[in-house]
Amino acid sequence: MKWKKACSMLLATTLACSLFVTPVFADEVSDLKEQKQEVQNQVNSLQSQLNTLMSKISELEDELITTGEEIAQTEEDLKEAEAEEEAQYEAMKLRIKYMYEEGSGTATVEKVVTSGDISSMLTQAEYSQQVHSYDREKLEEYAATVQKVEDLKTTLETKMDDLQTTQTEYEAQQTELNTTITEKSAEVENLDGQIKEAAKKAAEEAAKKKAAEEAAKKAAEEKAAAEAQSESNGSSNNGGGGSTGTTTTVDEDYNEPSSNGGGGSTGGGGGSSSSGSQSSPSYSASTGNAIVDAAYSQVGNAMYEWGAQRPYDAFDCSGLVQWCYAQAGISIPRTSSSILSSGTIVSDPQPGDICWTPGHVAIYIGGGQMIEAQQDGVPICISSVRVTYYVRY
């Protein structure tokens, strides 16, 4: 029983120690993702503000154009009013001059008074008064028109100045928003890099943890086997029964199929098989080509849409990858995290393998390129590889 206890303690210690490593990096990735989401929310808010501002700028430009046209028309109206005022004034002067030159003014009145023709005098006086009143009214009317047009022009020019001031303010806000968005986008990109690095470390630590577990398990098995052999050699004549009992216990703990040394060998073979599962799975060129052909069929023919998986219409990134694999008869998970955990990371990428980065997946097509559903408003496209891991199924 000693060897069983020793084995159990070794395994428990190894597992306990290994559990403290990966969560640290997992927490770091989670924190970084939260930071990224917070900054991305800021970027989205700023972009929304910028979109609103751009709409205001567009409306302002329309108003500036309309006001400018009104000012131009008003200037033409003012020129016509001033010209007509001047013409009326000149006409009035000519009539006054004519009256006096033709004797219809004071001279005519004197002649009428002298002649004693009071009727003629009154007629001439009334006519002069009417001409004077008409000219005065007309002159005042045109003067009022000129003043009205001048006031309108002044109002429109003031409005134009205000609009241009607003335009300057909007342009300053636009510049500030663009600068802030650029800075925040760079911050998001930096966080992406940190997330990538943290995810890489987490994966490396997970691999180390698994290797440590395998090593601890193997060491425990070897020690247990050695102690079992030693205990068997030192047993009495009735020790055979004890040995059998002990072997039964080992079967329960380690799933060994027999009660002799061969059973220990089989257990070791099991460990060897587990290690073998970490090696790259075999690559099928025909399967890879089928996956790549399916991806090519969607390039330019489907748009990015979150949660979509509609061939020749819309996909999100993992939806595209899952669909492409389905065309080759391979079933894979729907989310990028599940795709990574269910597949095998490889260092010799081949066409049809999956390019994985935190939160994003794409189909590797060779030559450092991949086909991806990239982002809103962008069709399925071919891009340069952005990758943390290559994953194969």
Name the band, by pLDDT with cuts 50, 70 and 90, for residue 369: very high
Q: What is the pLDDT of residue 240?
A: 45
Q: What is the pLDDT of residue 373?
A: 94
Most distant CA pair in the chain, distance? 180
Region 213-222: mean pLDDT is: 81
User: Which fold would CATH assign to domain 1-234?
Assistant: Helix Hairpins (1.10.287)
pLDDT of residue 253: 35
Residue 122 has pLDDT above 80, yes or no: no
CA angle 191, 318, 185 (to 5 degrees): 25
Percent of the chain beyond pLDDT 70?
67
The residue whose two tokens read 């060779």 is: 366
* Candidate from 9-13, 43-47, 60-64, 352-356 with smallest mean pLDDT: 9-13
pLDDT of 112 higher than 60: no
From the number of C-beta atoms within 10 Å of its C-beta (0-12, 13-18, 19+), residue 371 rates as buried
Q: What is the overall mean pLDDT for the chain?
A: 74
User: pLDDT-derived band of residue 330, with 50, 70 and 90 as boundaries?
Assistant: very high
The confidence score (pLDDT) of residue 119 equals 55
Residue 374's pLDDT is: 92
For residue range 234-257, list pLDDT tens digits in order. Answer: 654 444 444 443 333 333 333 333
Nearest to 363 by CA among 376, 9, 263, 327: 327
Residue type, 203: A
Q: How far apart are CA 329 and CA 332, in angstroms?
A: 10
Domain assignments of the chain as residue spans, ordered by start: 1-234, 285-392
Span 162-183, pLDDT tens digits: 877 887 888 788 788 888 888 8
pLDDT tens digits along 63-95: 766 777 787 787 788 788 777 777 777 776 676
For residue 357, is pLDDT > 80? Answer: yes
Q: What is the pLDDT of residue 132?
A: 64
pLDDT band at 216 (very low <50, low <70, confident <90, very high): confident
CATH code of 285-392, in short, is 3.90.1720.10
Is the pLDDT confidence value at 294 over 80?
yes
pLDDT for res 324: 97
The three-point CA angle 11-16-18 to 5° equals 95
The rounded percent of the chain whose pLDDT value lies above 90 is 22
Distance CA 187, CA 100 (A): 90
Q: What is the pLDDT of residue 250?
A: 33
User: Residue 379 pLDDT more than 90?
Assistant: yes
Query: Model pTM?
Result: 0.36
Supply the pLDDT for residue 270.
35
Averaging pLDDT over each range in 4-18, 143-157, 180-194, 289-303, which range is the top one?
289-303
